[in-house]
Amino acid sequence: MSKIKPSKGAPYARIMGVGGYRPTRVVPNEVILETIDSSDEWIRSRSGIATRHWASDEETVSMMSVEASGKAIADAGITPEQIGGVIVSTVSHFKQTPAVATDIAHKIGAGKPAAFDISAGCAGFGYGLTLAKGMIVEGSAEYVLVIGVERLSDLTDLEDRATAFLFGDGAGAVVVGPSQEPAIGPTVWGSEGDKSETIKQTVSWNDLHIGDVSKLPLDKNGEVKFPAITQEGQAVFRWAVFEMAKVAQQALEVAGISPEDLDVFIPHQANMRIIDSMVKTLKLPEHVTVARDVETTGNTSAASIPLAMERLLATGQAKSGDTALIIGFGAGLVYAATVVTLP
């Protein structure tokens, strides 16, 4: 018989507050067209994106996260000292160690919480939310801060016609805390590593470090390009539309609800065509509010779901207590979907 005492966590967990930060610089499609042969109409028709935000030198991954976190903590009605865990999902923090989560935890005044980074691409917020839920139910933390943050402008090849217009910067954060009733459903998550080459970094940091020019992409002037994100657009589109709709449906089923029970749908803001196709495939009723933040924010990877959630609540398109389906999917290929009650 085990001598280990059982955990004394909360019976359930819920999202208590949300906050977002978008860089001050707004970049319209016209700026993108300076480096690629395309048009505003083509970009809008292919992606639905009209503008995106790009960070300045001062708007670092840490700075944007701190700003979003402060809003989420205030929205939750708690103090930074009550935070027992900080989970940061990002692919654009370029210091291998220490985790940026530790710096953020210090800057928000959280004391000595567990703090770590995760790399799950555009599904990262869903992964972090699931981990936070487990920490609270297990009893290792009472409140956990989950942050999705990216500076994808640093990983964008502005000469790549297929991706130059897609990416934006920003940070979204939520506070997850204890609940007496279910408010974060079971997560349907997974990966398809056989498709990992469809979204990837162009070259590894090691290739750049070694400096073998034969392995490195060059710009129009023959200079070595900084590593960037590239993707096989059509393959990703087909996978997202057909396979992720199945995952979303599974998330509804394990949560015990139907599409008619939903109030809000918050998919990863990758592409307007993908969002519209998923809505059609899922046969969502007209009363369901659908996040389409991608039009003015672009694809912000791990930040896209919390940023879209924050905007829906701030604009009154969604309200506290609404039932929302969230799903993230991206490089890996990885995915995560769950049903939540909005804060």
* Catalytic hit among 53, 122, 221, 271: 122
* Catalytic hit among 53, 93, 268, 271: 268
* Catalytic hit among 29, 53, 93, 299: 299
From residue 59, give the alpha-carbon distance in Å to each of 22, 52, 63, 155.
9, 15, 6, 15
Which amino acid is it at 328? G
106 included as an active-site residue: no
> In what side-by-side order are the strands of the sheet with 83-89?
12-21, 169-179, 143-151, 83-89, 114-118
29 included as an active-site residue: no
Torsional sign, CA 197, 123, 269, 94: negative
- Backbone φ, ψ for residue 260 (5° rounding): -65, -20
**Cα–Cα distance for residue pair 177/19, rounded to 1 Å:** 15
Cis check for the bond before 333: say yes or no (omega within 30 of 0): yes
Three-state secondary structure readout of 101-135 = HHHHHHHCCCCCCEEEEECCHHHHHHHHHHHHHHH
271 included as an active-site residue: no
User: Which residues are tagged catalytic?
Assistant: 122, 268, 299
